Protein backbone atom coordinates (compact mmCIF):
# COMPACT_ATOMS: atom_id res chain seq x y z
CA UNK A 1 0.00 0.00 0.00
CA UNK A 2 2.83 2.32 0.78
CA UNK A 3 4.44 1.71 -2.65
CA UNK A 4 1.19 2.60 -4.46
CA UNK A 5 1.02 5.93 -2.69
CA UNK A 6 4.63 6.70 -3.63
CA UNK A 7 3.91 5.94 -7.31
CA UNK A 8 0.88 8.21 -7.31
CA UNK A 9 2.87 11.05 -5.75
CA UNK A 10 5.62 10.64 -8.37
CA UNK A 11 3.13 10.73 -11.26
CA UNK A 12 1.49 13.87 -9.92
CA UNK A 13 4.91 15.53 -9.50
CA UNK A 14 5.90 14.75 -13.13
CA UNK A 15 2.61 16.17 -14.41
CA UNK A 16 3.08 19.38 -12.41
CA UNK A 17 6.66 19.82 -13.73
CA UNK A 18 5.52 19.43 -17.38
CA UNK A 19 2.67 21.91 -16.93
CA UNK A 20 4.96 24.41 -15.24
CA UNK A 21 7.57 24.22 -18.02
CA UNK A 22 4.94 25.08 -20.72
CA UNK A 23 4.04 28.39 -19.03
CA UNK A 24 7.55 29.87 -19.14
CA UNK A 25 7.75 32.81 -21.70
CA UNK A 26 10.56 32.77 -24.31
CA UNK A 27 13.43 35.19 -23.78
CA UNK A 28 12.95 38.74 -25.26
CA UNK A 29 15.22 40.16 -28.00
CA UNK A 30 18.00 42.42 -26.87
CA UNK A 31 16.62 45.95 -27.17
CA UNK A 32 20.12 47.35 -27.76
CA UNK A 33 20.77 45.32 -30.92
CA UNK A 34 21.71 47.52 -33.92
CA UNK A 35 21.54 47.08 -37.67
CA UNK A 36 24.71 46.21 -39.46
CA UNK A 37 26.55 49.36 -40.50
CA UNK A 38 25.05 51.57 -37.72
CA UNK A 39 27.08 52.71 -34.74
CA UNK A 40 26.32 51.40 -31.23
CA UNK A 41 23.23 52.93 -29.69
CA UNK A 42 21.48 53.34 -33.12
CA UNK A 43 17.89 52.48 -34.03
CA UNK A 44 16.87 48.96 -32.87
CA UNK A 45 15.94 46.25 -35.35
CA UNK A 46 12.25 46.06 -36.21
CA UNK A 47 10.90 42.57 -35.50
CA UNK A 48 10.19 40.66 -38.71
CA UNK A 49 12.71 42.65 -40.90
CA UNK A 50 16.06 41.61 -42.39
CA UNK A 51 19.29 43.53 -42.09
CA UNK A 52 20.58 45.19 -45.34
CA UNK A 53 24.05 44.01 -46.35
CA UNK A 54 26.67 46.76 -46.22
CA UNK A 55 28.18 47.00 -49.75
CA UNK A 56 29.85 50.41 -49.38
CA UNK A 57 32.18 52.19 -47.00
CA UNK A 58 31.60 55.73 -45.83
CA UNK A 59 34.50 58.03 -46.69
CA UNK A 60 35.31 61.74 -46.45
CA UNK A 61 34.22 63.69 -49.59
CA UNK A 62 36.89 65.40 -51.69
CA UNK A 63 37.08 69.15 -51.25
CA UNK A 64 35.93 71.05 -54.38
CA UNK A 65 37.80 74.26 -55.06
CA UNK A 66 35.45 77.02 -56.27
CA UNK A 67 37.08 79.35 -58.84
CA UNK A 68 37.39 82.96 -57.74
CA UNK A 69 36.21 85.94 -59.77
CA UNK A 70 39.68 86.21 -61.32
CA UNK A 71 39.55 82.71 -62.79
CA UNK A 72 39.93 82.57 -66.57
CA UNK A 73 40.87 80.11 -69.25
CA UNK A 74 43.91 80.67 -71.45
CA UNK A 75 42.97 80.43 -75.14
CA UNK A 76 45.05 78.01 -77.19
CA UNK A 77 47.99 79.45 -79.07
CA UNK A 78 47.16 79.80 -82.80
CA UNK A 79 49.17 77.56 -85.10
CA UNK A 80 51.12 79.53 -87.76
CA UNK A 81 50.22 76.94 -90.41
CA UNK A 82 46.54 77.85 -89.90
CA UNK A 83 47.05 81.39 -91.16
CA UNK A 84 45.36 82.48 -94.38
CA UNK A 85 47.02 85.00 -96.67
CA UNK A 86 45.37 87.55 -98.92
CA UNK A 87 45.99 86.73 -102.59
CA UNK A 88 43.62 89.27 -104.15
CA UNK A 89 41.75 92.41 -103.16
CA UNK A 90 39.67 94.92 -105.09
CA UNK A 91 37.61 98.03 -104.33
CA UNK A 92 35.09 98.95 -107.00
CA UNK A 93 31.91 100.94 -107.55
CA UNK A 94 29.40 98.79 -109.38
CA UNK A 95 26.75 99.79 -111.90
CA UNK A 96 25.79 96.45 -113.41
CA UNK A 97 29.47 95.76 -114.10
CA UNK A 98 31.32 92.55 -113.22
CA UNK A 99 34.93 91.61 -112.45
CA UNK A 100 36.39 88.09 -112.22
CA UNK A 101 39.61 86.34 -111.19
CA UNK A 102 40.71 82.70 -111.32
CA UNK A 103 42.63 80.63 -108.80
CA UNK A 104 43.44 76.91 -108.67
CA UNK A 105 42.41 76.01 -105.11
CA UNK A 106 44.31 72.84 -104.27
CA UNK A 107 44.16 73.03 -100.48
CA UNK A 108 40.78 74.41 -99.27
CA UNK A 109 39.09 76.16 -97.61
CA UNK A 110 39.14 79.56 -99.29
CA UNK A 111 37.68 82.65 -97.58
CA UNK A 112 36.19 85.66 -99.38
CA UNK A 113 35.63 88.72 -97.22
CA UNK A 114 33.73 91.77 -98.43
CA UNK A 115 32.62 95.14 -97.05
CA UNK A 116 29.91 97.08 -98.88
CA UNK A 117 28.71 100.69 -98.86
CA UNK A 118 25.22 100.70 -100.36
CA UNK A 119 23.50 103.80 -101.68
CA UNK A 120 20.82 105.35 -99.50
CA UNK A 121 17.51 106.89 -100.44
CA UNK A 122 15.39 109.35 -98.49
CA UNK A 123 11.63 109.42 -98.80
CA UNK A 124 8.49 110.31 -96.88
CA UNK A 125 6.20 107.62 -95.53
CA UNK A 126 2.68 108.08 -94.20
CA UNK A 127 1.02 105.95 -91.55
CA UNK A 128 -1.98 106.06 -89.22
CA UNK A 129 -1.01 106.60 -85.60
CA UNK A 130 -2.47 104.29 -82.98
CA UNK A 131 -2.41 107.13 -80.45
CA UNK A 132 -5.81 108.69 -79.94
CA UNK A 133 -6.50 112.00 -81.77
CA UNK A 134 -3.16 111.94 -83.69
CA UNK A 135 -4.59 110.61 -86.97
CA UNK A 136 -2.38 110.24 -90.04
CA UNK A 137 1.35 110.97 -89.66
CA UNK A 138 4.17 111.57 -92.18
CA UNK A 139 7.79 110.66 -91.35
CA UNK A 140 11.09 111.03 -93.20
CA UNK A 141 12.78 107.65 -93.84
CA UNK A 142 16.46 107.11 -94.68
CA UNK A 143 17.06 103.56 -95.95
CA UNK A 144 19.20 101.44 -98.30
CA UNK A 145 18.28 101.84 -101.94
CA UNK A 146 16.27 98.87 -103.23
CA UNK A 147 18.50 99.01 -106.35
CA UNK A 148 21.71 98.63 -104.31
CA UNK A 149 23.12 95.09 -104.29
CA UNK A 150 26.38 93.10 -104.46
CA UNK A 151 26.90 89.47 -105.45
CA UNK A 152 29.80 87.00 -105.16
CA UNK A 153 29.78 83.89 -107.35
CA UNK A 154 32.35 81.09 -107.17
CA UNK A 155 32.16 78.55 -109.99
CA UNK A 156 34.29 75.93 -111.68
CA UNK A 157 36.46 77.48 -114.37
CA UNK A 158 36.33 74.31 -116.47
CA UNK A 159 32.60 73.66 -115.90
CA UNK A 160 30.94 77.09 -115.42
CA UNK A 161 27.56 75.53 -114.58
CA UNK A 162 29.09 74.06 -111.40
CA UNK A 163 28.47 76.92 -108.95
CA UNK A 164 30.01 76.33 -105.52
CA UNK A 165 28.79 79.56 -103.90
CA UNK A 166 26.56 82.52 -104.76
CA UNK A 167 25.74 85.01 -102.03
CA UNK A 168 25.89 88.70 -101.25
CA UNK A 169 24.07 91.85 -100.12
CA UNK A 170 20.73 93.37 -101.04
CA UNK A 171 17.03 92.59 -100.85
CA UNK A 172 16.75 93.11 -104.62
CA UNK A 173 18.64 89.83 -105.05
CA UNK A 174 17.06 88.10 -102.06
CA UNK A 175 20.18 88.48 -99.90
CA UNK A 176 20.56 89.85 -96.36
CA UNK A 177 21.74 93.34 -95.41
CA UNK A 178 25.00 92.56 -93.57
CA UNK A 179 27.59 95.19 -94.49
CA UNK A 180 30.53 92.92 -93.73
CA UNK A 181 30.62 89.19 -94.45
CA UNK A 182 33.10 86.35 -94.80
CA UNK A 183 32.16 83.52 -97.16
CA UNK A 184 33.78 80.07 -97.03
CA UNK A 185 34.45 77.71 -99.97
CA UNK A 186 35.42 74.13 -99.14
CA UNK A 187 35.63 72.62 -102.66
CA UNK A 188 38.89 71.78 -104.46
CA UNK A 189 38.91 73.00 -108.07
CA UNK A 190 40.23 75.57 -110.52
CA UNK A 191 37.93 78.38 -109.37
CA UNK A 192 36.55 81.46 -111.10
CA UNK A 193 35.51 84.14 -108.60
CA UNK A 194 33.11 86.83 -109.87
CA UNK A 195 32.11 90.13 -108.23
CA UNK A 196 28.94 91.75 -109.55
CA UNK A 197 26.77 94.60 -108.33
CA UNK A 198 24.80 97.77 -108.87
CA UNK A 199 24.50 101.13 -107.16
CA UNK A 200 27.03 100.08 -104.52
CA UNK A 201 30.73 100.31 -103.58
CA UNK A 202 32.39 97.13 -102.34
CA UNK A 203 35.81 96.00 -101.18
CA UNK A 204 36.42 92.26 -101.54
CA UNK A 205 39.47 90.11 -100.77
CA UNK A 206 40.34 86.44 -101.27
CA UNK A 207 42.29 84.42 -98.66
CA UNK A 208 43.91 80.96 -98.83
CA UNK A 209 46.52 78.98 -96.92
CA UNK A 210 49.98 79.38 -98.48
CA UNK A 211 51.03 75.82 -97.69
CA UNK A 212 49.47 73.40 -100.13
CA UNK A 213 48.55 76.15 -102.61
CA UNK A 214 51.99 77.70 -103.32
CA UNK A 215 55.45 76.21 -103.74
CA UNK A 216 57.15 79.30 -102.34
CA UNK A 217 55.49 80.49 -99.13
CA UNK A 218 58.27 82.95 -98.25
CA UNK A 219 56.76 85.56 -100.58
CA UNK A 220 54.02 86.19 -98.01
CA UNK A 221 54.48 88.59 -95.12
CA UNK A 222 52.82 86.63 -92.31
CA UNK A 223 52.36 89.80 -90.26
CA UNK A 224 50.74 92.16 -92.76
CA UNK A 225 49.29 89.91 -95.47
CA UNK A 226 47.99 87.00 -93.39
CA UNK A 227 45.40 86.44 -90.65
CA UNK A 228 43.49 83.76 -88.77
CA UNK A 229 39.87 82.99 -89.64
CA UNK A 230 37.22 81.42 -87.43
CA UNK A 231 35.92 78.07 -88.68
CA UNK A 232 32.43 79.61 -88.85
CA UNK A 233 32.85 83.35 -89.56
CA UNK A 234 30.21 85.72 -88.20
CA UNK A 235 28.52 88.41 -90.28
CA UNK A 236 28.45 92.02 -89.19
CA UNK A 237 25.97 94.86 -89.62
CA UNK A 238 28.64 97.44 -88.83
CA UNK A 239 30.56 99.50 -91.36
CA UNK A 240 34.19 98.37 -91.07
CA UNK A 241 37.37 99.86 -92.51
CA UNK A 242 37.98 98.50 -96.03
CA UNK A 243 40.85 96.08 -96.51
CA UNK A 244 44.00 97.57 -98.14
CA UNK A 245 44.45 96.59 -101.76
CA UNK A 246 47.77 94.80 -102.41
CA UNK A 247 48.86 94.28 -106.02
CA UNK A 248 51.55 91.53 -105.96
CA UNK A 249 51.69 88.76 -108.55
CA UNK A 250 51.69 85.31 -106.95
CA UNK A 251 53.16 82.12 -108.35
CA UNK A 252 50.94 79.08 -107.81
CA UNK A 253 52.14 75.59 -106.94
85-95 residue pLDDT tens:
999 999 999 99
CB-side neighbour CA atoms (13 Å) of 147: 6
Percent of the chain with pLDDT strictly greater than 90: 43
Residue 12, CA distances (Å) to 6, 9, 21, 23, 216 in order: 10, 5, 14, 17, 126
Label residue 59 by pLDDT band (50, 70, 90): low
pLDDT of residue 96: 96
- Specify the pLDDT at position 125: 78
Q: What is the pLDDT of residues 120-158, one digit of tens each?
A: 988 787 777 777 667 677 888 788 999 999 999 999 999
Strand-pair partners of 204: 90, 114
Pick the closest to residue 121 from 172, 181, 174 (CA basis).
Answer: 172
**Residue 74's CB: how many other CB atoms inside 10 A?**
5
Amino acid sequence: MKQVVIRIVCCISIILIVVASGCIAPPKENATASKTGNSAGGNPLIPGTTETPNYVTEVTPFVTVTPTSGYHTIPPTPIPQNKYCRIYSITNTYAYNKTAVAFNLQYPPMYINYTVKPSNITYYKSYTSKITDQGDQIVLVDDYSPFSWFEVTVRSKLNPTDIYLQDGFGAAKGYNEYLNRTLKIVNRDDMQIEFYGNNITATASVWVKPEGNFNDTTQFNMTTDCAYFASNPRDSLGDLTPTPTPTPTWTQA
